Amino acid sequence: EMGNAIKALGERIPMATTEIAALIEGGARMGIQGKDNLLAFTEVAANAATAFELPADQIGENLARIANLYKLPIQNIGQLGDAINYLDDNAQSKGGDIIDVMQRTAGITASVGMSFRDAAALGSTFLSLGASAEVAGTATNAMIRELAIAGEQPKRFQKGLKALGLE
């Protein structure tokens, strides 16, 4: 069954069936269970690899890790790929760099309840301003950390927030 499913995927996506099989293997190794989940994950990872011109196994591992950090069910991983692809197409940031930033920031952004879409957009914004993925990740982490404890900050911090229209 899985062999036939791999062949069918190979007819829909621009990737060799051996690479598709390797993505499925990698997904299974990362804990993705069930044929349907593995196939859905593999199709998203393969399409992302093509769109972002990155190695499929690297993209697959990164997307699975991000989905796990945001508690995104594997059957919904296409939403993650779509969000990153949208930013890749409509902002001055590359999909691979957005993924890099998201990996660096997923822990803190998820801990404050930020959605993966908002985290991707924030990372893309820093990247569009000319920051490297490392700098964008560091800036995102610092900003979220400071805003998370905003109520405990000194008066000058509160004054700065007010000047921005925030509380």
DSSP states of 36-78 as a string?
HHHHHHHHHHHHHHHHHT--HHHHHHHHHHHHHHTT--GGGHH
Q: What is the DSSP code (8-state) at residue 114?
A: -
Q: Report pLDDT digits (tens) over 103-156.
A: 999 999 999 999 999 999 999 999 999 999 999 999 999 999 998 898 899 999
Is residue 44 within 8 Å of 64, Cβ to Cβ? no
The candidate with the shortest Cα–Cα distance to 102, out of 74, 76, 56, 64, is 64
What DSSP character marks residue 55?
-
> What is the reported pTM?
0.83
